[in-house]
Amino acid sequence: MIRLLTAAALVLPAAPAMAASGPFFSLRNTDFIVLLAFLLFVGVLLYFRVPREVGKMLDKRADGIRAELDEARGLREEAQSLLASYERKQKDVQAQADRIVTNARDEAQRSAEQAKKDIAASIQRRMTAAEEQIQSAQDKAVKEVRDQAIAVAVAAAREVIIEKMTKPRADKMIDDSIETVSAKLH
Protein backbone atom coordinates (compact mmCIF):
# COMPACT_ATOMS: atom_id res chain seq x y z
CA MET A 1 0.00 0.00 0.00
CA ILE A 2 2.80 2.37 0.85
CA ARG A 3 4.33 1.58 -2.50
CA LEU A 4 1.18 2.62 -4.33
CA LEU A 5 0.96 5.87 -2.40
CA THR A 6 4.59 6.55 -3.16
CA ALA A 7 3.97 5.91 -6.85
CA ALA A 8 0.95 8.24 -6.82
CA ALA A 9 2.97 10.93 -5.07
CA LEU A 10 5.60 10.70 -7.76
CA VAL A 11 3.03 10.81 -10.55
CA LEU A 12 1.16 13.92 -9.24
CA PRO A 13 4.04 16.34 -9.64
CA ALA A 14 4.63 15.05 -13.15
CA ALA A 15 1.00 15.79 -14.10
CA PRO A 16 1.44 19.50 -14.53
CA ALA A 17 3.43 18.83 -17.64
CA MET A 18 0.50 20.60 -19.18
CA ALA A 19 -0.07 18.60 -22.27
CA ALA A 20 -3.53 20.10 -22.53
CA SER A 21 -4.39 23.80 -22.73
CA GLY A 22 -6.41 25.75 -20.18
CA PRO A 23 -6.63 25.62 -16.43
CA PHE A 24 -5.44 22.35 -14.88
CA PHE A 25 -8.36 21.84 -12.47
CA SER A 26 -11.00 21.90 -15.17
CA LEU A 27 -13.03 18.95 -16.48
CA ARG A 28 -12.02 20.01 -19.95
CA ASN A 29 -8.40 19.36 -19.19
CA THR A 30 -7.60 15.77 -20.19
CA ASP A 31 -4.65 15.62 -17.85
CA PHE A 32 -6.88 16.42 -14.88
CA ILE A 33 -9.42 13.79 -15.98
CA VAL A 34 -6.70 11.19 -16.31
CA LEU A 35 -5.42 12.17 -12.87
CA LEU A 36 -8.90 11.84 -11.36
CA ALA A 37 -9.40 8.47 -13.04
CA PHE A 38 -6.08 7.31 -11.76
CA LEU A 39 -6.80 8.45 -8.22
CA LEU A 40 -10.23 6.82 -8.39
CA PHE A 41 -8.62 3.62 -9.61
CA VAL A 42 -6.06 3.71 -6.79
CA GLY A 43 -8.88 4.43 -4.32
CA VAL A 44 -10.90 1.45 -5.54
CA LEU A 45 -7.82 -0.73 -5.24
CA LEU A 46 -7.25 0.47 -1.69
CA TYR A 47 -10.94 0.12 -0.75
CA PHE A 48 -11.04 -3.51 -1.83
CA ARG A 49 -7.68 -4.07 -0.16
CA VAL A 50 -6.11 -5.31 -3.36
CA PRO A 51 -2.55 -4.40 -2.26
CA ARG A 52 -2.99 -6.50 0.90
CA GLU A 53 -4.36 -9.43 -1.16
CA VAL A 54 -1.61 -9.03 -3.72
CA GLY A 55 0.90 -8.88 -0.85
CA LYS A 56 -0.63 -12.02 0.68
CA MET A 57 -0.48 -13.76 -2.70
CA LEU A 58 3.11 -12.64 -3.16
CA ASP A 59 3.97 -13.75 0.38
CA LYS A 60 2.24 -17.06 -0.25
CA ARG A 61 4.12 -17.42 -3.53
CA ALA A 62 7.37 -16.48 -1.78
CA ASP A 63 6.66 -19.07 0.93
CA GLY A 64 5.95 -21.65 -1.79
CA ILE A 65 9.18 -20.78 -3.58
CA ARG A 66 11.06 -20.90 -0.27
CA ALA A 67 9.55 -24.32 0.47
CA GLU A 68 10.47 -25.52 -3.03
CA LEU A 69 14.01 -24.20 -2.56
CA ASP A 70 14.26 -25.97 0.81
CA GLU A 71 12.94 -29.16 -0.76
CA ALA A 72 15.35 -28.75 -3.67
CA ARG A 73 18.20 -28.19 -1.19
CA GLY A 74 17.17 -31.33 0.69
CA LEU A 75 16.95 -33.31 -2.54
CA ARG A 76 20.33 -31.98 -3.61
CA GLU A 77 21.91 -33.01 -0.29
CA GLU A 78 20.24 -36.41 -0.56
CA ALA A 79 21.50 -36.75 -4.14
CA GLN A 80 25.00 -35.77 -3.03
CA SER A 81 24.93 -38.31 -0.22
CA LEU A 82 23.68 -40.97 -2.64
CA LEU A 83 26.40 -40.01 -5.09
CA ALA A 84 29.03 -40.24 -2.36
CA SER A 85 27.59 -43.58 -1.29
CA TYR A 86 27.66 -44.91 -4.84
CA GLU A 87 31.19 -43.62 -5.31
CA ARG A 88 32.26 -45.42 -2.11
CA LYS A 89 30.51 -48.56 -3.29
CA GLN A 90 32.17 -48.23 -6.69
CA LYS A 91 35.57 -47.90 -5.03
CA ASP A 92 34.80 -50.91 -2.83
CA VAL A 93 33.65 -52.93 -5.84
CA GLN A 94 36.73 -51.84 -7.80
CA ALA A 95 38.98 -52.83 -4.92
CA GLN A 96 37.18 -56.16 -4.64
CA ALA A 97 37.47 -56.70 -8.40
CA ASP A 98 41.19 -55.91 -8.19
CA ARG A 99 41.57 -58.41 -5.35
CA ILE A 100 39.66 -61.03 -7.33
CA VAL A 101 41.84 -60.44 -10.40
CA THR A 102 45.00 -60.59 -8.28
CA ASN A 103 43.82 -63.78 -6.56
CA ALA A 104 42.89 -65.30 -9.92
CA ARG A 105 46.33 -64.42 -11.31
CA ASP A 106 48.05 -65.88 -8.27
CA GLU A 107 45.87 -69.00 -8.41
CA ALA A 108 46.58 -69.38 -12.14
CA GLN A 109 50.29 -69.01 -11.49
CA ARG A 110 50.16 -71.57 -8.67
CA SER A 111 48.14 -73.90 -10.88
CA ALA A 112 50.66 -73.49 -13.71
CA GLU A 113 53.55 -74.23 -11.35
CA GLN A 114 51.71 -77.24 -9.93
CA ALA A 115 50.94 -78.43 -13.47
CA LYS A 116 54.64 -78.11 -14.34
CA LYS A 117 55.54 -80.15 -11.25
CA ASP A 118 52.87 -82.73 -12.07
CA ILE A 119 54.07 -82.97 -15.68
CA ALA A 120 57.68 -83.32 -14.51
CA ALA A 121 56.64 -86.05 -12.04
CA SER A 122 54.58 -87.79 -14.74
CA ILE A 123 57.51 -87.66 -17.17
CA GLN A 124 59.82 -88.99 -14.45
CA ARG A 125 57.38 -91.84 -13.68
CA ARG A 126 57.10 -92.68 -17.38
CA MET A 127 60.87 -92.54 -17.77
CA THR A 128 61.27 -94.84 -14.77
CA ALA A 129 58.60 -97.20 -16.13
CA ALA A 130 60.26 -97.15 -19.56
CA GLU A 131 63.68 -97.84 -18.01
CA GLU A 132 62.17 -100.70 -15.99
CA GLN A 133 60.56 -102.10 -19.16
CA ILE A 134 63.85 -101.77 -21.01
CA GLN A 135 65.69 -103.46 -18.13
CA SER A 136 63.04 -106.18 -17.98
CA ALA A 137 63.25 -106.73 -21.74
CA GLN A 138 67.04 -106.75 -21.51
CA ASP A 139 66.95 -109.26 -18.64
CA LYS A 140 64.47 -111.39 -20.57
CA ALA A 141 66.65 -111.26 -23.68
CA VAL A 142 69.75 -112.17 -21.63
CA LYS A 143 67.83 -115.05 -20.00
CA GLU A 144 66.61 -116.26 -23.39
CA VAL A 145 70.16 -116.06 -24.74
CA ARG A 146 71.46 -117.93 -21.67
CA ASP A 147 68.72 -120.53 -21.94
CA GLN A 148 69.50 -120.92 -25.63
CA ALA A 149 73.22 -121.10 -24.84
CA ILE A 150 72.55 -123.68 -22.13
CA ALA A 151 70.38 -125.70 -24.51
CA VAL A 152 73.07 -125.52 -27.18
CA ALA A 153 75.77 -126.37 -24.63
CA VAL A 154 73.76 -129.31 -23.30
CA ALA A 155 73.10 -130.54 -26.83
CA ALA A 156 76.78 -130.13 -27.69
CA ALA A 157 77.80 -131.84 -24.44
CA ARG A 158 75.39 -134.66 -25.16
CA GLU A 159 76.89 -135.12 -28.59
CA VAL A 160 80.41 -135.01 -27.16
CA ILE A 161 79.48 -137.41 -24.36
CA ILE A 162 77.71 -139.71 -26.75
CA GLU A 163 80.76 -139.79 -29.01
CA LYS A 164 83.27 -140.25 -26.20
CA MET A 165 81.21 -142.24 -23.77
CA THR A 166 81.73 -145.96 -23.77
CA LYS A 167 79.77 -148.58 -21.86
CA PRO A 168 82.44 -149.32 -19.28
CA ARG A 169 83.09 -145.66 -18.72
CA ALA A 170 79.36 -144.96 -18.29
CA ASP A 171 79.04 -147.74 -15.74
CA LYS A 172 81.99 -146.37 -13.79
CA MET A 173 80.46 -142.86 -13.76
CA ILE A 174 77.17 -144.24 -12.50
CA ASP A 175 78.91 -146.13 -9.72
CA ASP A 176 80.92 -143.03 -8.72
CA SER A 177 77.74 -140.96 -8.63
CA ILE A 178 75.96 -143.47 -6.43
CA GLU A 179 78.87 -143.51 -4.00
CA THR A 180 78.97 -139.73 -3.89
CA VAL A 181 75.23 -139.51 -3.22
CA SER A 182 75.33 -142.23 -0.53
CA ALA A 183 78.32 -140.54 1.16
CA LYS A 184 76.50 -137.24 1.25
CA LEU A 185 73.24 -138.72 2.47
CA HIS A 186 74.80 -140.71 5.36
For residue range 60-88, what is the model confidence (pLDDT) as tens digits?
Answer: 999 999 999 999 999 999 999 999 999 99
Calculate what percentage of the chain has a pLDDT beyond 90. Answer: 52
**CA 42, CA 11: separation in Å to the nearest integer?**
12
Mean pLDDT value of segment 37-41: 96
pLDDT tens column, 125-178: 999 998 999 999 888 888 888 888 888 877 877 777 777 777 787 788 888 888
pLDDT: is 109 or 5 the higher one? 109
pLDDT: is 3 or 173 the higher one? 173
Mean pLDDT value of segment 106-120: 93
- Per the CB < 8 A criterion, the answer to whether 161 and 173 are in contact is no
Look at residue 10 in the predicted model and tell me its pLDDT.
54
Look at residue 23 in the predicted model and tell me its pLDDT.
82
Mean pLDDT value of segment 4-16: 54
**CA 128, CA 166: separation in Å to the nearest integer?**
56
What's the pTM?
0.39
Calculate what percentage of the chain has a pLDDT beyond 70. Answer: 88
